[in-house]
Amino acid sequence: MPWSTRELADLAGTTVNTVRHYHRLGLLEQPDRRYNGYKQYEVRHLVSLLRIRRLAELGIPLSQMRSVTDSAQGSPELLREVDAELRARIESLEQARAHIAAIIQHQVPADVPAGFEAVASRLSESDRSIVHIMTRFYDDDALEDIREMSADDTDDTGPDIDNLPADADEQTRQELAGRVAGIIVKHLANYPWLRDPAAHLPKGSELSLQTFGDALTELYNDAQLDVLFRANKLAEEMMGAARVQGGEGTAGQQG
């Protein structure tokens, strides 16, 4: 008994549109038509359709199915390539599940940068935006250090920077800059690469630093940028003074 297109699709567990798509690609042979113009599919069409569906389940691209079906051994090289792609996709899905679990555990926004779920509560909206950009420029080792810096519970300056108004007065700016400078000195001591991050910027320093600069200018107000500039300058002065004192101490011991 011949089948209509819909009946064939139902038997194969697919849709009429999918059957028509396979016809357009030349994967499924066109059937004869009845006197009234309706298609009449036979067992050979059902078997062909089921074979195509089987290959689709395995992840074989439609564009390469003909080479698989034409090969007596099923194109083992192509199958190995598909297997590698599936393995990579599985790893990606497992990683996504791990991130989802961390997002639920820490009750943080779903769009938090990957790997920063545990410290997201310490990051402002602007901070999260900067970290998102960092994930596109820094390598994995640098990002791990940045996660550790973000988790530093001795740094209580975050909320004050976040809430700093653009018209903050001089005293407020200088006091906050001094506190931030202390944190910067600590981080520079623990993570020396921060002084010269080029080795951790696979896309190159020029593009990376330009992007970070543009992001800071857009995401932070004038007072916040002023505090960050002052803090970095103060940190350099503090570290310079420490080096001088260390040198004097060494010279005194030698004398």
Per-domain residue ranges for the chain? 5-70, 72-107, 122-254
Round to whole Å and give the CA distance between 16 and 5.
6
- The model's pLDDT over 79-88, given as tens digits with 9 standing for 90+, comes to 888 899 999 9
Quick one: tokens of 205?
């320093």
Quick one: tokens of 52?
């195509």
Quick one: tokens of 16?
């009429």
Q: Could you give the C-alpha distances from 242 to 188, 236, 252, in angstroms and in order? A: 13, 10, 15
Q: Could you give the C-alpha distances from 255 to 64, 243, 246, 249, in angstroms and in order? A: 80, 18, 14, 10
**All residues at 6 or more sequence positions from 142 whose CB lies less than 8 Å from its CB, including other chains:** 134, 193, 197, 200
- Which segment of 4-8, 70-74, 216-220, 221-225 scores lowest on mean pLDDT? 70-74
At the topology level of CATH, where does 5-70 sit?
Multidrug-efflux Transporter Regulator; Chain: A; Domain 2 (1.10.1660)
Helix axes 125-134, 140-150, angle to 10 degrees: 160
Q: Count how many residues are written for the chain.
A: 255
pLDDT at residue 248 in the model: 56
C-alpha 99, offset from chain centre: 11
Q: Which residue has the higher pLDDT, 136 or 76?
A: 136
Q: Is the pTM of this model over 0.95?
A: no
Q: Give the range with max mean pLDDT: 104-108, 204-208, 241-245, 248-252.
A: 104-108
What does the mean pLDDT of the chain come to?
A: 90
pLDDT at residue 255 in the model: 47
Q: Could you give the C-alpha distances from 2 to 9, 33, 38, 47, 195, in angstroms and in order? A: 13, 10, 11, 13, 76
DSSP annotation of 196: S
- The model's pLDDT over 192-203, given as tens digits with 9 standing for 90+, comes to 999 999 999 999
